[in-house]
Each structure stands twice: as structure tokens, then as C-alpha cells.
Amino acid sequence: MTLHPPVLSLTAALFALAPLAGAQTAPAAALAPEPAAAAPAAPDTDRTSSTQVGTKTKRLPQEINVNLFRNPSIGLEYRLGAFSIHAGAYPTVVSQNAAGENETSWFLRAGASVFFFGHSFYNQRKSEFYVSGSYLRGLNLGHENAAAVEAGYRWMVWKGLNVRLGAAVLFEPGHEVQVNPTPGIGWSHSF
């Protein structure tokens, strides 16, 4: 088949403009008429691609936290995007002995957190506010099942070092509702 000069010029112009429009098809395919009934596209199963040609969707950030002191517990936390789950040991002072001295109560703690309003100081990783809900199981001093609701702020100090300050409300059957400060320190690794 012989193409006439005007068709060659039009084909060359379309080929030259295709990258500007984001098209990834050959010029001949752009000139071909569309079929009357096109088959539906197969579902996109690739987690890193989108329906737009030439673009990729972002993966949700993941993070592993080693919490070294108290908030949310002395243990591990896994985060995906704005949500995290955590488990570990949780010490708190919710009772006094007969002499009026504070006693440290120990619990196993497991729960979930949501992080929001993230912002970065001096180009560090984002610091942010959080709310958390947890199940607690008492380990000493007659404590049994309990629940805690917590709100606070996580400050990313340097690289993975983070400091948390919050307040937790502890609900335990047969005990008074307790409100305690919940400081914490930990190290996080993003991937």
C-alpha cells in the first residue's frame, strides 16, 4: 500500500504529538475506527498500577515500631498508612498499697490506632496526632480484663526516634475509671 504525502504528514504529526498527550499507541491504531462493541477490560490486579496510561499508584507507607516505654505498650506496632495495630506489656499506676504508696500495675495490651494531621518539622518524617483503642489483660494486683481509650501526639524527633505524649482513660470492671498520662519513646522503621 502506498501512502500519499498528506497521509504521511498527518501520520508523522500524530506520532510526534502522541507523547505529549500521554498516548502509548501506534499512530496507525489512532487512525483506525473503533469497533462497534468493545469487550470489557479485564480487572486490574496489579497493586502498583492505575487505569491511567503511564502512571503508577502509590503504595501505602508501612512502618514497624519498637516501642521502648509504655505508649502504646512496651512491644511492637505495625502501621499501614494511617492505621496501626500494637501489642505488648503496659505498666501504669492505678492503685496504692495500704501505706498509700503507688503500685505499678502490669497489663498485656493489644489494640489499634489511627494517625491524623501529619506535619513535618525541619524536613523530618511526619509528626502527628493519634487516637487509640485497646484491650488490656491484667497480670498482677488482681487486675483482669480492661479497656483503654487514648489520644495524644507522636513527635518524630530524629530519623526513626519518636516520642509520644498522650492521655489514656482506663475502664476496668470493679475499679474506678482512671485517667493517666501516657508518655512513650520508640524507634520506627519505614519501608
Q: What is the reported pLDDT for 38?
A: 53
13 pLDDT higher than 50: no
pLDDT digits (tens, 9 = 90+) for 130-173: 999 999 999 999 999 999 999 999 999 999 999 999 999 999 99
CA distance 65 to 75: 8
Residues 142-174, buried b or exposed e (16+ Cβ, 10 A)? ebeebebebebebebeeebebbbebebebebee
Amino acid at 104: T
Mean pLDDT in the chain? 81
Listed in order, the ranges of the chain carrying CATH 2.40.160 are 62-190
Q: pTM (2 decimals)?
A: 0.68
pLDDT digits (tens, 9 = 90+) for 71-99: 999 999 999 999 999 999 999 988 888 89
pLDDT digits (tens, 9 = 90+) for 25-43: 444 444 555 555 555 555 4
Identify whether 72 is preceded by a cis peptide bond (ω within 30 of 0).
yes
Q: What is the reported pLDDT for 1?
A: 52
More confident residue, 54 or 168: 168
The CATH architecture one would assign to domain 62-190 is Beta Barrel (2.40)
Cα(first)–Cα(last) distance of the chain, in Å? 55
